[in-house]
Chain A
Amino acid sequence: MTRRPWRMVAGLAWREGRTMRRRLLLYMSSIALGGGALVAIDSFAANVNASVHESSRSLLGGDLALSARTPLHGETSALVDSLTHAGSRTARVTTFPSMASVRRTGRTRLAQVRGVSDDYPLVGRIETDPGSAWSLLAGGPRTVVDPALLATLDAHIGDSLILGYTRFAIVGTIRSVPGDAGISAAIGPRVFIPERDLPETQLLIFGSRADYRTLIALPARTPIAGERWVQRLRPRLEREHVRAQTSADAETNLTNAIQRLTDFLGIIGVVALLLGGIGVASGVAAFVARKIDAAAILRCLGATEPQVLAMYVSQAAAMGLVGAAAGAALGVGIQFALPFAARDFLPVDLTVSLVPRAIARGLLVSVWVSLLFALRPLLALRRVSPLQALRRDVDVPVAAVARRRALDPAVVAVTIAIIATIVTIAVTRAPSLRIGLATGAGIIGAVVALWLAAAALAAAARRLVRAEWPYVLRQGIANLHRPANQTRAVVVALGSGAFLISTLYLVQSALVHEFASSAQASRANLLFFDVQQDQAHGVDSAIRHAGYPVIERTPIVTMRITAINGLSVGVQATDTTDTADAGAPRRGAASRGRGPGGRPRRAQWALRREYRSTYRDTLVGSERIVAGHWPAVRAAGDSLAGVSFEDGVARELSVGVGDVVTWDVQGVPIQTRVASLRAVDWGRFEPNFFAVFPSGVLEHAPQQAVILASVPNAAATATLQRDIVDRYPNVSTIDLSLIRETVNGIVNKVTIAIRFLALFALVMGFPVLVTAVAATRRERVHEGVLLKTLGATRSQVGRIMIAEYFALGALASVTGIGLSIPAAWSLVHFVFESPFNPTITPLLALATVTAALTVAIGAAGSRDVFAETPLVMLRAE
């Protein structure tokens, strides 16, 4: 073959494509939404990571942060002093919850108090209203607060805010604090006061929960130096129960937090891309159906099989490129819109910029997917016989051509390439190889299952049709099994669409449900904590005296672990990896692997932390036993008391049922044996614990209490809060209804975001629906007009079509949605590790909508049947 004929092929392809260029562009544009989603998601993720990287230092508030439950002392304090002498700057922030009230309005609210030293913040600046408020803080007991606090306290700038035993003048409100996401303010409004005024409040007494944080800006300002310093000193810091964080740690933590969001967006990307591919495949099948005559004539005129194929592949490639470019442009547009939706959940100010790599990758992947999915139907044109140009009266339907090529090596090769592409896309976008392979296998399995379901439907249609049924119904159903039927093509395309959309929906709703369940109502709505042992009775009776029930009084005993299985915590293998292992809790002591000397690896934070444990003999609603026995009473003949661990912390500690854990309960050693492991739903607003003791062990230990009460309304809540805070200023209260309101607000935002995504998925599915029914549109229109010529009314023709499209739509959606349940379960269970409780109603709605849309689009696509007069049958002669 010389070059010239090939060059002519390109010219011919351009001219030949003229009449159907717009239609082909429409088909190939199915990829645009998929490519657009891909570009948007990847650009968004890249922007988030870049912004996180840029702002990690300001997020931490310095190069290093040392935090502890007590003010720094001993060796650590000396270390900080040495750093200061070497030129580092330091600042301190002491954070603790406390009730804040305004006498003038009589209102009370739980706040996060932050006592800050003069140098705070070391990095970035705090924006306030008025702008000078922060500098005013130094001049006496003054405070700058979150605007939300003023709103709930009905206060304004100039009022006095009471914290413990001190009044602070409110000099301004906070606009932004470097490193604080909006959400942290929602849990409790922030109250900034000077560090030197802290002692006067008398809020920091024994057992108070406070975080003492020292921020350090190193002179060299190199994070690596900070990192090395921490690595070297971490064991010494941990001995003093000091947690060290570098700006690099802060970046990792943030990236991990964002990972779940990007994992989910990654799944949407896969779904969008595959929907685009399916849309292209079925659209191009329709295109091929209309090009068989032209291909036959070209073959008659001497075009070779490769030339014919090249002509149409080049048309499809050109249009695919246009579609992909449109997709990339769309993606860039969405990328600029996404930060507005996600702003409230991101702890950084997102800088949106074009990400050339994401755009190029999105463009390349979508061109590749569109071309590959288009190639499979296009290969049929290779096999069009030139005889068809001579014998146009012999109707050779597309499906017949398709069947002939079933074992065509080129078709097999393209099919393998499609499978490999699906698996590759799934693997590259999944959090792990295993999950990626499973996702790819799941998608391919679903397509095979849909194909089998379609074959079964065709077989059933052959057997089930009864002579006594109305003609239009029989004709519509019989169309499902007749030669050249569209059953397999439409069911596979539509079903795959329904499968992907439904899977996406189920995963979304599982994530929302998990989030929303944290807002689940419990009878208690007012929580008092930091109640000292000698105050518990007083608080309890004050609540009852006011006429409200006390729902629960939970004792809390603080303690530390000193040894596990006789091995002292001090000599446990050093392990700075604090990431929890995935998977179910295991019995025995090997779940984190083994460290030096064959000792089990145990997470340092879990070994060193202060445990706030309780004792009781009943399980609460947020717990269930996953191993061992409850209550954790000592076994017969065992001298050791039982204890029940939360399964996650047990995994971190590498302890299982039967292991011996020794505690230091404020100076008193207590030896216990692990009697059970509990799974705990931490999302619930109930006091939950890592370690729960049976009654009869801790009753005499120094303890605090958490008291839950049920108070009918906001006014009563405010009065009771004020009374108790007046009598016991160290006692903090949380109005759970307020938090519920806040959480509900966030849930609503997430729900809106998810509805947007669901809508986007539906929009992505739409081209699939259109192209799936377009594939056989020509035959349907021809048949419908012929029926009209033979005396069928438009209503009869319409009802035949409705019967057929309804059967197709119903089967495709029911099968696709049915398959999506195990698929979504797998994703939710293995990727997001969340509970999965699908509700049937939205799925039924989705099935109904899909079936109805199939009928509507089928009818709309065949509207020519109604528009055309039967005269075309004569004109076609």
Chain B
Amino acid sequence: MLVARELTKEYRSGDAVLRALDTVSFEIQQGAYVAIVGASGSGKTTLLGLLAGLDTPTHGTVFIDGVDLSPLSEDARARLRGEKVGFVFQSFQLIPTLTALENVAVPLELRGDPEATVRARDVLDRVGLATRANHFPAQLSGGEQQRVAIARAFANHPRVLFADEPTGNLDATTGARVIELLEALNRESGSTVVIVSHDPALAARAGRIIRLGDGRIISDTAREQVTRVASGVGA
């Protein structure tokens, strides 16, 4: 389970205090598929950073799988990410000097997993890139690179996977395939998936949509409600 409790993040700019996130609270059940949407500057990235323990809130707490992130040091949060969190970025963020297989193996290697390569190969096979294992990122298409990134994110069986605009750099067809892959892995692995996106179509496929505006939650709707809104039944 992923819990955000009264998360507030303020940035100081000279004498002014900028509140990027304002007392945001929610709970996401294990295995859920959630989209966080909002306009530019609404606080999506700030929220994602806090949820994943990449940054620390000014107030409030985050619990990942029952672990409170507040008292953890940066290294302890890094270890927690290594064990329980996966990431998929808009621009893939593969290490250009490592092959696809090596990129996937990184989180496993960091944990000291002796079977890192074998398991990385399995996951790569699962995303359909077994034949591209020894290629460098520059030798792969955008879609293939994002599939490698997804394989890397799932390699350590994360409890939560965060995807930041995962289709932002891909064409519609490739993007759709990537989303299907994410959904399939979500179903199979039981990992919680949190997607941040501008794309309404992408958000519409999620079981729950959290909409941000000016650092606050302006709506938090479940799949059924979303469907009803879309078909003009509800609201």
Chain A interface residues (CB < 8 Å from chain B): 392-397, 400, 467, 471, 474-475, 479, 482-485, 779, 783, 786-796, 869-871, 873-877
Q: Does B49 contact A (CB under 8 A)?
A: yes
Q: In the complex, what residues of A have CB within 8 A of residue B49's CB? A: 869, 871, 874
Minimum CB–CB distance for A563 against chain B, Å: 81
Pick the contact of B81: A485, A779, A789, A794 (CB < 8 A). Answer: A789
Q: Does B128 contact A (CB under 8 A)?
A: no
| Residue of B75, B95, B111, B152 with most partner-chain A CB within 10 A | B95
Minimum CB–CB distance for A217 against chain B, Å: 79
Chain A: CB-nearest residue to B56: A869
Q: Does B200 contact A (CB under 8 A)?
A: no
Minimum CB–CB distance for A782 against chain B, Å: 9
Chain B: CB-nearest residue to A794: B75
Report how far A274 CA is from B50 CA in the complex, Å. Answer: 50
A393-B169, A395-B96 are contacts. A483–B136 as well, Cβ < 8 Å?
yes
Chain A: CB-nearest residue to B80: A791
* Interchain residue pairs with CB less than 8 A apart (29): A393-B142, A394-B138, A395-B96, A471-B109, A479-B97, A482-B97, A483-B96, A483-B138, A485-B97, A779-B96, A779-B97, A787-B110, A788-B78, A789-B81, A790-B82, A790-B110, A791-B78, A791-B81, A791-B156, A792-B82, A793-B79, A794-B78, A870-B78, A873-B89, A874-B54, A877-B45, A877-B90, A877-B91, A877-B168
Q: Does B48 contact A (CB under 8 A)?
A: yes
Q: Does B65 contact A (CB under 8 A)?
A: no
Chain B: CB-nearest residue to A397: B96
- The reply to whether B164 and A877 form a contact with Cβ atoms under 8 Å apart is yes
Minimum CB–CB distance for B117 against chain A, Å: 8
For the complex of A and B, list the 9 residue pairs with the smallest distance between their C-beta atoms, beginning with the closest: A791-B82, A482-B97, A471-B109, A793-B75, A395-B96, A791-B81, A870-B54, A877-B90, A871-B49
Q: In the complex, what residues of B have CB within 8 A of residue A467's CB? A: 117
- The reply to whether A789 and B45 form a contact with Cβ atoms under 8 Å apart is no
Q: Does B33 contact A (CB under 8 A)?
A: no
Q: In the complex, what residues of A have CB within 8 A of residue B79's CB? A: 791, 793
Q: In the complex, what residues of A have CB within 8 A of residue B136's CB? A: 483
Report how far A792 CA is from B108 CA in the complex, Å. Answer: 10
Pick the contact of A791: B83, B95, B116 (CB < 8 A). Answer: B83
Contact with A along B94-106 (1 / 0, CB 8 A): 0111100000001
Pick the contact of A483: B89, B90, B97 (CB < 8 A). Answer: B97
Q: In the complex, what residues of B have CB within 8 A of residue A397's CB? A: 96-97
- The reply to whether B110 and A796 form a contact with Cβ atoms under 8 Å apart is yes
Given A484-B96, A873-B54, 5 more pairs with CB closer than 8 A:
A395-B96, A479-B97, A791-B78, A791-B156, A873-B87
Q: How many A-B residue pairs have CB under 8 A?
A: 101
Q: Does B137 contact A (CB under 8 A)?
A: yes
- The reply to whether A395 and B137 form a contact with Cβ atoms under 8 Å apart is yes
Chain B: CB-nearest residue to A467: B117
Chain A: CB-nearest residue to B75: A793
- The reply to whether A791 and B98 form a contact with Cβ atoms under 8 Å apart is no
CB-contacts of B130-164 with A (<8 A)? 136-138, 142, 152, 156, 164
Chain B: CB-nearest residue to A795: B75
Report how far A475 CA is from B116 CA in the complex, Å. Answer: 13
- The reply to whether B81 and A484 form a contact with Cβ atoms under 8 Å apart is no
Report how far A482 CA is from B74 CA in the complex, Å. Answer: 29
- The reply to whether B81 and A877 form a contact with Cβ atoms under 8 Å apart is no
| Residue of B92, B96, B112 with most partner-chain A CB within 10 A | B96
Minimum CB–CB distance for B43 against chain A, Å: 12
Chain B residues within 8 Å of chain A by Cβ, number: 42
Report how far A482 CA is from B99 CA in the complex, Å. Answer: 9
- The reply to whether A789 and B87 form a contact with Cβ atoms under 8 Å apart is yes
- The reply to whether A790 and B87 form a contact with Cβ atoms under 8 Å apart is yes
Q: In the complex, what residues of A have CB within 8 A of residue B62's CB? A: none
Minimum CB–CB distance for B234 against chain A, Å: 33
Chain B: CB-nearest residue to A393: B91
Report how far A593 CA is from B102 CA in the complex, Å. Answer: 73
Minimum CB–CB distance for B139 against chain A, Å: 10
Chain B interface residues (CB < 8 Å from chain A): 45, 48-49, 54-55, 74-75, 78-83, 85, 87, 89-93, 95-98, 106-107, 109-112, 116-117, 136-138, 142, 152, 156, 164-165, 168-169
Report how far A392 CA is from B96 CA in the complex, Å. Answer: 13
Q: In the complex, what residues of A have CB within 8 A of residue B80's CB? A: 791
- The reply to whether A783 and B107 form a contact with Cβ atoms under 8 Å apart is no
Chain B: CB-nearest residue to A396: B138
Report how far A871 CA is from B57 CA in the complex, Å. Answer: 12
Minimum CB–CB distance for A387 against chain B, Å: 13
Q: In the complex, what residues of B have CB within 8 A of residue A791's CB? A: 78-83, 85, 107, 110-111, 156
Pick the contact of B48: A392, A396, A795, A874 (CB < 8 A). Answer: A874
- The reply to whether B92 and A393 form a contact with Cβ atoms under 8 Å apart is yes
Pick the contact of A876: B55, B83, B91, B95 (CB < 8 A). Answer: B91
| Residue of B45, B89, B98, B109 with most partner-chain A CB within 10 A | B109
- The reply to whether A790 and B107 form a contact with Cβ atoms under 8 Å apart is yes
Report how far A788 CA is from B52 CA in the complex, Å. Answer: 12
Chain B: CB-nearest residue to A866: B74
Pick the contact of B95: A400, A471, A783 (CB < 8 A). Answer: A783
Report how far A59 CA is from B87 CA in the complex, Å. Answer: 82
Pick the contact of B110: A471, A479, A483 (CB < 8 A). Answer: A471
Q: In the complex, what residues of A have CB within 8 A of residue B152's CB? A: 790
Q: In the complex, what residues of B have CB within 8 A of residue A783's CB? A: 95, 97
Minimum CB–CB distance for A475 against chain B, Å: 7
Report how far A38 CA is from B168 CA in the complex, Å. Answer: 56
Report how far A93 CA is from B165 CA in the complex, Å. Answer: 98
- The reply to whether A874 and B97 form a contact with Cβ atoms under 8 Å apart is no
Q: In the complex, what residues of A have CB within 8 A of residue B117's CB? A: 467
A393-B92, A484-B96 are contacts. A874–B111 as well, Cβ < 8 Å?
no
- The reply to whether B97 and A871 form a contact with Cβ atoms under 8 Å apart is no
- The reply to whether B81 and A869 form a contact with Cβ atoms under 8 Å apart is no
Q: In the complex, what residues of B have CB within 8 A of residue A876's CB? A: 91
Chain B: CB-nearest residue to A792: B110
Report how far A411 CA is from B165 CA in the complex, Å. Answer: 42
Q: In the complex, what residues of B have CB within 8 A of residue A485's CB? A: 97
Report how far A392 CA is from B92 CA in the complex, Å. Answer: 12
Q: In the complex, what residues of A have CB within 8 A of residue B168's CB? A: 877
Q: In the complex, what residues of A have CB within 8 A of residue B106's CB? A: 787, 790
- The reply to whether A877 and B89 form a contact with Cβ atoms under 8 Å apart is yes
- The reply to whether A873 and B93 form a contact with Cβ atoms under 8 Å apart is yes
Pick the contact of B78: A396, A471, A479, A793 (CB < 8 A). Answer: A793
Chain A: CB-nearest residue to B155: A790
Report how far A795 CA is from B117 CA in the complex, Å. Answer: 23
Report how far A625 CA is from B48 CA in the complex, Å. Answer: 85
Pick the contact of A395: B48, B87, B138 (CB < 8 A). Answer: B138
- The reply to whether A874 and B109 form a contact with Cβ atoms under 8 Å apart is no
- The reply to whether A475 and B109 form a contact with Cβ atoms under 8 Å apart is yes
Minimum CB–CB distance for B114 against chain A, Å: 9
Q: In the complex, what residues of A have CB within 8 A of residue B87's CB? A: 789-790, 873
Report how far A400 CA is from B138 CA in the complex, Å. Answer: 11
- The reply to whether B138 and A792 form a contact with Cβ atoms under 8 Å apart is no
Chain B: CB-nearest residue to A391: B142
Report how far A396 CA is from B96 CA in the complex, Å. Answer: 9
- The reply to whether B142 and A877 form a contact with Cβ atoms under 8 Å apart is no
Q: In the complex, what residues of A have CB within 8 A of residue B107's CB? A: 790-791
Chain B: CB-nearest residue to A479: B97
Minimum CB–CB distance for B122 against chain A, Å: 17
Minimum CB–CB distance for B97 against chain A, Å: 4
Report how far A482 CA is from B102 CA in the complex, Å. Answer: 11
- The reply to whether A482 and B98 form a contact with Cβ atoms under 8 Å apart is yes
- The reply to whether B54 and A789 form a contact with Cβ atoms under 8 Å apart is yes
- The reply to whether A877 and B165 form a contact with Cβ atoms under 8 Å apart is yes
Minimum CB–CB distance for A489 against chain B, Å: 14
Q: In the complex, what residues of B have CB within 8 A of residue A395's CB? A: 96, 137-138
Chain B: CB-nearest residue to A786: B93
Report how far A792 CA is from B95 CA in the complex, Å. Answer: 14
Chain A: CB-nearest residue to B82: A791
Chain B: CB-nearest residue to A484: B97
- The reply to whether A875 and B109 form a contact with Cβ atoms under 8 Å apart is no
Q: In the complex, what residues of B have CB within 8 A of residue A793's CB? A: 75, 78-79
Q: In the complex, what residues of B have CB within 8 A of residue A392's CB? A: 91
